[in-house]
Each structure stands twice: as C-alpha cells, then as structure tokens.
Amino acid sequence: MEIKLAKDFGGNINEKISALFVEAFGKELKIISNDSNKLTKAFLHMFVLDYFYIGIIDNEIAGMMVCTDKEHYCIKHDKKILVNNLGLVKGLLANMIFKIYFNKYPKYPVKIDEKTGSIEFVATNKKYRRMGMATLIMEYIFSLKLYEKYILEVADTNERAYNLYKKLGYKEIYRIKQRFPKQIGINYLVYMIKEMN
C-alpha cells in the first residue's frame, strides 16, 4: 500500500475520495439521500486535498484519514453545487449539516493548541476492512511527527473504531450526549487524545 497526501495523486482522486466518503458515512447521509451516486457527485468539490491522507492499493483507495490543525477544515462545501446536484430542499439540508458539523468553531468541546493535530474522516474501503488499513495510515501520520498530540471524535456506537483508537494509545477525555440519539443512532460523541512521547 502506498500512503500519501491526496493532493499528490493525480487523476480522479476527488471522485475516489467522495465515493469512499459516501460508502463509509452513508448511514449518516441517508437523511440527505439514499442515492450514493448522487451524493458522490454532489460532494466531489468539497474535499481539501491538503489534509487527506490516503492509502492506495492497485489504483484504488483502501483507506483515508484527515489530519489537520485546530483552525483548518478539510471540507469546504459550496451551497450552489449541493443544490444543483441534490435539489433545493436536500441541497439546503446538506449545506446546513455541513455548516453545523464540519465548519464550526471551536472544532472540539475541549481547548486544544497548535501542537495538537485533528484526526477526522477515518474510513476504510469495505473491500479492505479488518486488514489494518486505518492503523497503517494513522501510524504513517504519526511517523511524520507533525504534532505532539492528536485528538479525534468517535460515536459511542462505533465500538470497533473506539477499540482501535484505544489500542493505538488514545484516551477518552470527554463525552457529549446527543439530543436525538434514536434518530441519528448515536448516544454520545466521544473525544479521545493521544500524546506522542
């Protein structure tokens, strides 16, 4: 597997990232649309390739992960493009969701400094799941020594990811109870930090 920043790959990398994003987070995106092709096309424009680390096997994305700082976002969506691809109502809904969840400040409910990296959008292609892709990409990011600490957010219902992060040395520091747990399938958002020693 080759791991590097998405901006260093050519071709249709945005389309590949968008397809994996929709595959990985499709359950949460169903509120916008059940049509994965429509979502993939609508989201093509919004990924900031400077922060997406991707693992490629046989010209296919095996996994991806974002690493950024406390002030930069990896998603920059355009309301007009979302509306053009999803229709007025669903496009505006997608715009609102992305504003609330991906462009809020501060990013985390705990104070973080410039020595803390933010890990986001951890996703593995279903063809390569349970093969250690997320671990390989995360360890690659750690090897770059960009930050002294890393923070991430995980849903309490995503036990596999939570356990992986614990295994990689993350410690839980905070939980936020969700307002509509039955509707979104999440009871708490859990925040975890890993200190690099």
Measured in degrees and rounded to the nearest 5, phi and psi for residue 190 equal: -110, 135
Structure confidence at residue 105 (pLDDT): 67
Tell me if residue 140 falls in helix, strand or coil.
helix
Q: Which domains does the chain have, with CATH numbers?
A: 2-148 (3.40.630)
The model's pLDDT over 117-132, given as tens digits with 9 standing for 90+, comes to 999 999 999 999 989 9
The model's pLDDT over 143-187, given as tens digits with 9 standing for 90+, comes to 999 999 999 999 888 899 999 999 999 999 999 888 766 666 778
Average pLDDT score over the chain? 91
- pTM for the structure as a whole: 0.90
Contact 14, 42 (CB under 8 A): no
Q: What is the token pair recorded at 41?
A: 């096309």
The rounded distance, in Å, linking the Cα atoms of 124 and 102 is: 20
Which of 179, 147, 140 is closest to 52 using CA atoms?
A: 140
* Residue with the two structure tokens 């945005």: 14
Q: Sheet harboring 2-5: ordered strands across?
A: 2-5, 52-57, 60-68, 116-124, 149-155, 188-195, 171-177
* Residue with the two structure tokens 């509306």: 83
* Residue with the two structure tokens 């010209």: 59
Which of 91, 123, 93, 155 is closest to 23 using CA atoms?
A: 123
Angle between helices 36-43 and 79-86 (to 10 degrees): 160
The model's pLDDT over 35-70, given as tens digits with 9 standing for 90+, comes to 999 999 999 999 999 999 999 998 889 999 999 998
